[in-house]
Chain A
Amino acid sequence: MNAPSKPNDWSAYPDAKGRFGDYGGLYVAETLMPLVLELDRAYTEAKNDPSFQSELKGYLTHYVGRPSPLYFAERLSRHLGGAKIYFKREELNHTGAHKINNCMGQILLAQRMGKTRIIAETGAGQHGVASATVTARFGLPCVVYMGAVDVARQKPNVFRMNLLGAEVRPVTSGAATLKDAMNEAMRDWVTNVDDTYYMIGTAAGPHPYPAMVRDFQAVIGTETREQIQEMEGRLPDAVVACVGGGSNAIGMFHPFLADESVKIYGVEASGHGLETDKHAASLTGGRPGVLHGNKTYLLQDEDGQILDAHSISAGLDYPGIGPEHSFLHDIGRAQYLTCTDDEALKAFQLCAELEGIIPALESAHAIAKLPQLAREIGEGGVIVLCLSGRGDKDIFTVADALGRTI
């Protein structure tokens, strides 16, 4: 691969064509093209409108509960015996994950564009819940597409969405998980072009979604920068986050891209192991292709058919990844590690026992890499981990995996 040299102006990405180097772009059916181009115009306008930004900030403060705390995980740090570990507590947001940061931005944009119906896809259900929450708050109807397999393994979140007034449509095509839910949401969008806004939950999809979702999630990294300087008087040596589509990760990473001293680590889900066909590590185990509106690393077979991903965590169970991660991977600005189901389960329990925090299984993938990173960075060093979500939704899955009954 012909890697470009590291850019020094990170705000130059994506370019006017929605590209991060080779990745990103606008690969949608002609019927949707005018819609994504209009979205790009509307978002650019909103982004530069101080009244939009101050309205968003108001809701993030009073409704979402921002800023989220930066917490020194003292016992975990001592247990691991290396660098100091901080958690960026996104799990304390309203609805229990980082997803609401993006949904709040997009619902305000949808309203500004005069859209009257919201659709969304969801894997673990966290983005579905966040979408159902903001549509309830602003009084818009919401349809959430969710793979039938995920509907079964994330029942509490399905019930939450229903309580919030959203209609959850189970998707049975393909492997009946996140990628199939996304296909079905795109089919709905192309059928209802006049009134419908598609609220994509991760930093992927056709331009401007990868950039827009990143911008809405960048509040994570922006707050972290300020908080860590207050608490430690300096920038961290490393930031780490789990990566499925990669929205919490890019939100944490982006404000640190220009700080060359800050190492950046993403953690992909390697399921039963990279040597098996049951994993979700698109960067480590895939290659570039085109799916869901963007060019990015994908799990695919030798004929270019997309493979079903596997992870114990429904939120990481996706065969692609946001295009900006593909770019950061190729140029080497971020390093991407992998974590198996078993490692994530152990980290899940360790975090609960040592810190009194039950993390989402997604976030547990990042936690699982802390022993290695704390050792590498070493004593006197500082690592910030994005604790992207809370694990209440996962207790049934975890009990099952541990052979216990609830």
Chain B
Amino acid sequence: MRWFWVDRFVEFESGTSATAIKNVSLAEEHLHDHFPGFAVMPASLIVEGLAQTGGILLGEKFNFEHIVVLAKVPRIKFASYACPGDQLRYHVDLLEANDEGGRVNCTAHIGDRLVAEGEIIFAHLDTMDSSMAQSVDQKNFVFSMGLMSILDVDGVSEAINADA
């Protein structure tokens, strides 16, 4: 399994906001243990999806020159569940961004139903601690993990739909 917790970006306004979707599927192994007979997406993975949405938004603002890592979740509240067949819609607004990192407000919805709402802080690992940055041998996580390819998913889909 690859560590992609969003399937596609549907809106992307550079330096301002982004919206991504995540389709929850019963093919995901962990849903069979979480919980047996009651499959719900682990809340921690919803946070990861929100962080990937926000992390790419922040990374793109600086042309992916920094290693963006999730540093802190000062506030997150869960109002509901996400189950197989649901489509989560992650929305993030970039509130702050500087040399050291950034902060986003984020929400997760299924249709009109609020699932989660909170705030995430990211740090630029390379500017924070040079010894840690050196131990990461790639220029940045987003590229090395192939996360950037999520940004292309929408384009591929558009091309296919245009042909159809």
A binds B: no
Interface residues of B (CB under 8 A from A): none
Interface residues of A (CB under 8 A from B): none
